[in-house]
Amino acid sequence: MKHTVLVALFLVGYVHAFGPIGKRANILFIMTDDQDAMLAGYDPDNGGVGNMPQVNKLLVDKGTMFMTYLATTPLCAPARASVFTGRFPHNHGVLDNENLANFHPTQEAMTANVWLNKSGYETMLVGKYIDGYSTDADASAPSYSTYIPPGWGSWFALQTLDFFGTRFNMNGQSVLYPHDAYQTDIITNISVNWLQNTWEPSNPFFMFIAPHAPHAPFTPAPRHKGTLAGLVQPPDPALNETDADQATLPGAIANLPAVDVNTYNAIFQSRAETLLAVDDMVAALVTELDAQSVLDKTWIFYTSDNGFHLGQHRLGVGAGEVFEHDINIPLIVRGPGVAQGAYAMDMVQNVDLAPTWLEIAQIKIPTGAPVIDGVSMTPLLRGSVNGTKETWYRDISLQEGWSTVAKPNCNNAKNDRSKPAYRALRLGDAAMNGLYRCLFIKYCDGDVAFFDMTGNPGDAKWQSTGMLAVLDKGHYKELSALLDKVSNCVGDGCTGHHGDGVKVALK
């Protein structure tokens, strides 16, 4: 497979970039659950995504792989809210998987799907929406068994996360599927059926397809169980790392005991096997789009909500940490004019998805809507614009988290979640007085960590050894000031898109 390294370019105007109104492209968005880049075997030199041949053939070879695509918060609900809103958790207010009061109903009415639907897009969701929507959390909440959020013309949301015997909210009706029906296959059938029988081809569509795989309980389809026998996690110094390396990590993590790698390898195999049904789903969707002669008019995004650690840094099974396994996740994009067989090294975040969809749809954010923190990724997906070459201005990414495995969550007695358990800053290729490609973390209990990440993007060996001891005082002060500045950022201050805010701070 041949690959092209992409050069970032800015597009001038939506109509010029995507064609006249009335010819807007379709958008198919596929988001798995907890699929970290390491699990994906995410390597362009070895064929793309590990153990997903259809994804490689139909998406990677026909589109662009992003090698440094980062979740703002590596936890389901905050990450998904960032996808829908294009805003960081400190702005949309969804800080954990339990409390959605800040999302429903205020934020929920100001999401990309709402604006797409109002502009004429047929919208549908099938699969997992946001944690907490399967049951009514309190008496004031809507009945989620029948509730349909705004902006969805067709609604097939998971009410239970079981891989067998799954219950869905089917357009306001609670439906229990048989115990021999596999969840991912149900989602595939609903999606293909919607394209065949519900979607009106004279209108563009926005499909949001979100299987629960490879999330716990890591249950593959029967046809795939055991087919990847012997599969183990790739070599990784961070997996059950040495005592010396572990001692350099922050806080309580430094003292974690060694883990049973064999146990985690078995889970790794099961997680990979759950993705084989997702691979089948991608093939079925692409086949149907091709059969309807709309494949070349459709943008396809494949990604996950967040990553996952599985014995790395001696952490157990889960997400929520700021290490590479938790925040670096797959992103593959195929669409009209997108560079094929290419990989982009530029840093992007999940807040950049919503503005990308809005640009594809030629939609401007309505007056009075919250400011979007992300920026459209189309400059990284296109060729030149009138021969003009410009620079992609995201030189930093902000990570924030309110709960971690080995850290206190910094809540006080009143359960105040105004301060995250950590805030972290990733620098890209734009040097800060000679410092670049690094990760700087401030934990709310006072711990600080620093990692040199000048190796290859996606390579977790960057974080096998903490390097705070070698960070000089000048750079420490600069990084600390910049992190404090962007921790409460809004709009361009989060991205440096127009050359102000963060971009100025980096100079």
The 10s digit of each residue's pLDDT in 62-76 is: 999 998 899 999 999
pLDDT > 50? residue 472: yes
Structure confidence by residue, pLDDT tens digits, 312-332: 999 999 999 998 899 999 999
Position of tokens 């053939």? 57
Instruction: Give percent of the chain with pLDDT exceeding 70.
Output: 84
Return the CATH number at 163: 3.40.720.10
Q: Which of 342, 377, 412 is the last residue of a domain?
A: 377
Asked whether residue 327 falls in the same domain as residue 411, the answer is: no
Asked whether residue 405 falls in the same domain as residue 370, the answer is: no
In a domain, 254, yes or no: yes
Asked whether residue 455 falls in the same domain as residue 361, the answer is: no
The pLDDT of residue 458: 47
Asked whether residue 325 falls in the same domain as residue 456, the answer is: no
DSSP 8-state assignment for residue 291: H
The pLDDT of residue 368: 87
387: left (phi over 0), alpha (psi -120 to 50) or beta: left
Asked whether residue 369 falls in the same domain as residue 458, the answer is: no
The pLDDT of residue 147: 87
For residues 359-367, average pLDDT? 90
For residues 448-470, average pLDDT? 75
CA end-to-end span of the chain? 38
Q: Among 402-406, 407-411, 476-480, which is the least confidently predicted range? A: 407-411
pLDDT > 50? residue 23: yes
Residue 98 neighbours by CB distance under 10 Å:
11
Q: Among 67-71, 387-391, 462-466, which is the least confidently predicted range? A: 387-391
How far apart CA 52 and CA 430 sit, in angstroms, is: 34
Q: Which domain holds residue 460?
A: 396-506
The pLDDT of residue 185: 98
Strands (E), 139-220: 154-158, 167-170, 173-176, 205-210
In a domain, 12, yes or no: no
The pLDDT of residue 358: 95
Count how many domains the chain has.
2
Residue pair 441/322 in contact by the 8 Å Cβ criterion: yes
For the four alpha carbons of 196, 197, 202 and 205, in that order, the dihedral sign comes to negative
For residues 451-471, average pLDDT? 73
For residues 52-65, average pLDDT? 96
pLDDT > 70? residue 302: yes
In a domain, 6, yes or no: no
The pLDDT of residue 251: 85
- Of 31, 58, 27, residue with least CA distance to 307: 31
Angle at 272 (CA atoms; ends 356, 6), nearest 5 degrees? 35
